[in-house]
Structure 1
Amino acid sequence: MHNDDTLKQLLTSIRDGTLDINQGVEQLRDLPFVDLGHTKFDVHRPLRNGFPEVIYGEGKTPEQVGEIFLRMSEHSNILATRVSPEMAAHVQTVCPEVKYHELGRALTFIRNPISFREGEIAIITAGTSDLPVAEEARITCELFGNHVNCISDVGVAGLHRLLHRLPEIRRANVIIVIAGMEGALASVVGGLVPQPIVAVPTSVGYGAAFSGVAALLGMLTSCASGVTVVNIDNGFGAACAASKINAMCQS
């Protein structure tokens, strides 16, 4: 259940008399944000932009993330990105229902059933080394209610691999293209399909790739039109953009 549905249900219960005013005030206590001292997590964010607040794990202590999960689990589904195995282990002692996705370095907690919209997001990687970023994108897309088709290791070094998968790629409403090295896959896909493309440069590559800068610049200067680029290794950001596009396809 989304936060706007929860708020509507609360107000309806007060109106109908099944919930008294004091109980309603208690439930509204944590709106619009919950203050933990070290963190103020935003309960009203889904009402404003359609997405719940997501925890960025890097830079936080395991104890801080554990406390955030404990309190957020009272309200909604939870996603945390950039989570180390050590942090995940601590959070799971606090919230045993939490699932750790090691490849994507993400934690998820499902409190309310996910309502999946129609349509599909395709996530394409140039190489197997790009899979951690793709996994972060997949987890995010699915938590936000999108069906996902992941197609990996179809980079430009063997273009026939991509062409073999084109029919299913063209079924998607929006495509996330993830590539390191020179980042050429985004331009190639952009020249083959009509769908909007969200390109993600990764930090995969030898020295002159400059930890993803070469791929970033290559995607930004793509000769294929309609390619949008997010930051290096930002699978989460790409998933948010693709989710918004996919949601608009339903309206």
Structure 2
Amino acid sequence: MNENPTGGLRRGEFGWFDAGRRARIGIPEAVFAAGKGDAALVEMIEFALEGEGPVLVTRLDPERWGLIADRADWLAFPPIAEGEPYVTLVARPLPRTGPKRVAILAAGSSDRVMALEARAVLTALGVDSHLVLDCGVSALKRTLVALDETSDAEVYIVLAGFEGALATVVAASVAQPVIGVPTSVGYGVARGGETAMASMLASCSQGLMVMGIDNGFGAACAALRIVGTRST
């Protein structure tokens, strides 16, 4: 292994790990598990665990859990269980500090795994979150209850598939920053999240920010930039 002592880069057989990223931008590099072979996955996780800060592993197939289970004291979002498409892992989360809070609203329970990906990233950086599932606009009363429950949030992350309307409704209802995440949930012309993404991008609610399809990780990183991470 070669290491760049000034940039915090760790280089191995299968690639580089940016150990200095949190020092630069306040958010650590995550190990993206999907598409990596077993040896590459283990190598990158070992690099991440060499440091002292929080460790994130995203898009891990639960069937590969045995490869890394004993390498750290992991928190899993959702908990490791049969049938989940993927999980997000956190090791060494920072302690929660201050009143920072991010609301995560998921239009349907089918958006749960993407929502928990966002929650995992926030947990790793010590930022509290309030998750409300199944509060989409098909039953607007649920949306109103969710908005009331999360009125103290500094930022909203809103996940929705189908036509993606929840993000527009939330952005039209609150003054806080709103980050929309279109999800690949829905029938027919929902087209794997493309319709929800187009709807959010075309929203008439001013200032709605939109991530890529199913990108709960990116939404949480955007929220962390808004609430600030360096003090944590």
Identify whether the pair has TM-score above 0.5, normalized to the shorter chain.
yes
Q: Aligned equivalents of 1:30 and 1:191: distance in 2? A: 46
Q: 1:236 to 1:113 in 2, by over 3 A?
A: closer
Instruction: Look up the match of 2:56.
Output: 79
**Equivalent residue in structure 2 for 1:105, among 79, 87, 90:** 87
Q: Is the 8 A contact 1:91 1:98 kept in 2?
A: no
The structure whose residues are more often helix, as a share, is 1
Does residue 140 of the first structure (1) align with residue 140 of the second (2)?
Answer: no
Distance 1:166 1:132 in 2: 21
Matches within 5 A, 1:129-168: 129-168=110-149
Give TM-score scaled by structure 2 length. Answer: 0.88
Tell me which amino acid in the other structure corresponds to 1:126. Answer: A
Q: By how many angstroms is 1:218 displaced?
A: 0.4
CA displacement at 1:236 relative to structure 2: 0.1
Cα distance per residue 1:30-80 (max 9 Å; x no partner)? 952111121210111112211111111111012211122223212032101
Separation of aligned partners in 2, 1:40 and 1:114: 28
Which residue number in structure 2 is paired with residue 240 of structure 1? 221
The CA deviation at 1:113 is 4.2
Secondary structure of the corresponding residue to residue 217 of structure 2: helix
Q: CA deviation at 1:142?
A: 1.2
Match of 2:65 in 1: 88
Q: Is the 8 A contact 2:89 2:120 kept in 1?
A: no
Compared with structure 1, are the counterparts of its residues 194 and 153 closer, same or farther at alpha carbon in structure 2 (3 Å cutoff)? same
In the superposition, the TM-score normalised over structure 1's length comes to 0.82
The amino acid of 1:72's aligned partner reads: A
List per-residue Cα deviations over 1:116-172 (Å, max 9, x = no partner).
342210000100001110000000111122110001111011001111232222210
Residue of structure 2 equivalent to 1:206: 187
Runs of 4+ in 1 over 4 A off after TM superposition: 27-31
* SS of structure 2 residue aligned to 1:148: strand
For 2:21, the aligned partner's letter is R
Tell me the equivalent position of 2:200. 219
Select which of 27, 33, 39 maps to 1:63. Answer: 39
More strand by share: 2
Q: Matched residues in 1 for 2:215 and 2:9: separation?
A: 26
SS of 2:63's equivalent in the other structure is helix
Instruction: Provide the C-alpha distance between the structure 2 equivalents of 1:106 and 1:127, rounded to a whole number of angstroms.
Output: 19
Alignment of 1:190-201 (within 5 A): 190-201=171-182
8 Å CA contact 1:117, 1:247 repeated in 2? no
Question: Which is greater in Rg?
Answer: 1
AA aligned to 2:89 is L
**Does the 8 Å contact 1:138/1:239 carry over to 2?**
yes
Percent identity between matched residues is: 37
Asked whether the 8 Å contact 1:201–1:216 carries over to 2, the reply is yes
- Aligned-residue Cα RMSD (Å) equals 2.1
Distance of 2:25 and 2:97 partners within structure 1: 17
Structure 1 residues 67 and 238: CA distance shift in structure 2, 3 A: same
1:88 & 1:117 partners in 2: Cα distance? Answer: 33
What's the CA shift string for 1:175-200, capped at 9, x where partnerless? Answer: 00000000000011111111110000
